[in-house]
Structure 1
């Protein structure tokens, strides 16, 4: 599903992002531990992982907000460490509220941002009106930002990042906390950005968001890329069918998991919170053998099903835990991914 619209940047070639071996440590903890990413210009690339996996730290290194401890990265061929000023002219970054003054209106804030970027007074006003229309904020344009809802603020944040029409846009969890309707509106806006010439790299912990938007996906867990490919490639990597088992006695889930892996001869994923096990399965006939083995061990099942794998099950199988469960590396560093040094 790769888009045919490619934003041409002189001398950039076809790659918007090329990163090799990126490392960033906070104290003894490696928040990012050797990440490789290659993003083709004119596409939407998703970085998928739970809280604390290293997504935001990776984005901040690519956006020149954090200096890598090791590895290299370039944006349209420009090194993020050696040429940060050029890189900053090529990118737009969201993730912080776009406002100069809470008491000013959305229009006034966007005009100020436009003027700071060098636009003339008339052009700044025209650009502000255009962006507010694009993001469905025209009716609220004159209201002070302190009266905006979270969804409205998120849309204004994205609008502000587009004032300079950057060829590459980083969206760090752009729809976290939004209601379903606003999320769908944001998805449509993101698709339009690519169709009008931009490349988008977005981080998300929402599996359906990556499934809906991304041409390619990197699954990141505990600071490392553990899988990469198109949605279809990732689903195919865990087999033609997916087994879902929910154990009746939650304290027996580890026993059940060992039996699943022994009988099916595969690696499984487990969500302790849901009391469920997910595993790839090439041969549906083995379900009978599994049921016999579970019964022999006295393990009672609440539910069992075999179906085509979803992206959720792909993530669970690859990482061994659900996308909504925090990576263990988050422990002990609550502020690690918020640390910024420009």
Structure 2
């Protein structure tokens, strides 16, 4: 439907991929990219951070009606550049004691037990101490990985909210 429209100087798209299956969503993204070449400005509202990351040159994060951050995707992610998100996968579930020990280390912002894995958000200087604590647990480590900071991480950082924890609004 978008393809048949003339290219206006400003196009507003409100949740253009809400309810679409993954295949149709990617098709919509390609259509939006083609319009980006024709239109001077596209204003896109979305709840999908990966969509904003893929399509937008400038992003405004709004929480409960208030602007909390703005900039390019890279600018927003760089605000967390002193942080890492590390995940360890184990052959068996890590104990609550290990999770609490890691969470109590200086520089650890959050440690989350995710079943057979432990996800740790930390300041970069804390990494050696975290590694030592995890290795001393004597759990068989199947893998460890360092995740890229995402716009979801940025949103949760600026809003102070976390997935599944914040029931308000």
Q: TM-score, normalised by structure 2?
A: 0.67
The count of corresponding residues between Structure 1 and Structure 2 is: 165
Aligned residue runs from structure 1 range 119-198, under 5 A: 131=1, 134=3, 166-198=8-40
Q: Cα RMSD (Å) of the superposition? A: 4.1
Deviations 1:288-329 (A, max 9, x none): 31244467899998864324423344344444424xx58533
Quote how far apart the aligned CAs of 1:235 are.
1.7
Match of 2:167 among 307, 311, 328: 328
Following the alignment from structure 1 to structure 2, what is the Cα–Cα distance between the partners of residues 252 and 273? 14
2:96 is equivalent to residue 255 of structure 1: no
Q: TM-score, normalised by structure 1?
A: 0.38
**Aligned position for 1:264:** 107
Relative to structure 1, the CA distance from residue 316 to residue 197 in structure 2 (aligned partners, 3 Å threshold; closer, same or farther) is same
Aligned residue runs from structure 1 range 208-227, under 5 A: 208-227=50-69
Relative to structure 1, the CA distance from residue 296 to residue 275 in structure 2 (aligned partners, 3 Å threshold; closer, same or farther) is closer
Structure 2 contact 87–147 (Cα < 8 Å) conserved: no
**Aligned position for 1:42:** none
Rg larger in structure: 1
Structure 1 contact 245–277 (Cα < 8 Å) conserved: yes
Following the alignment from structure 1 to structure 2, what is the Cα–Cα distance between the partners of residues 198 and 270? 43
Following the alignment from structure 1 to structure 2, what is the Cα–Cα distance between the partners of residues 210 and 253? 36
**Aligned position for 1:24:** none
Structure 2 contact 60–70 (Cα < 8 Å) conserved: yes
Following the alignment from structure 1 to structure 2, what is the Cα–Cα distance between the partners of residues 227 and 287? 27
Quote how far apart the aligned CAs of 1:174 are.
1.3
2:131 is equivalent to residue 288 of structure 1: no
Following the alignment from structure 2 to structure 1, what is the Cα–Cα distance between the partners of residues 8 and 75? 30
* SS of residue in 2 equivalent to 1:263: coil
* SS of residue in 1 equivalent to 2:20: coil
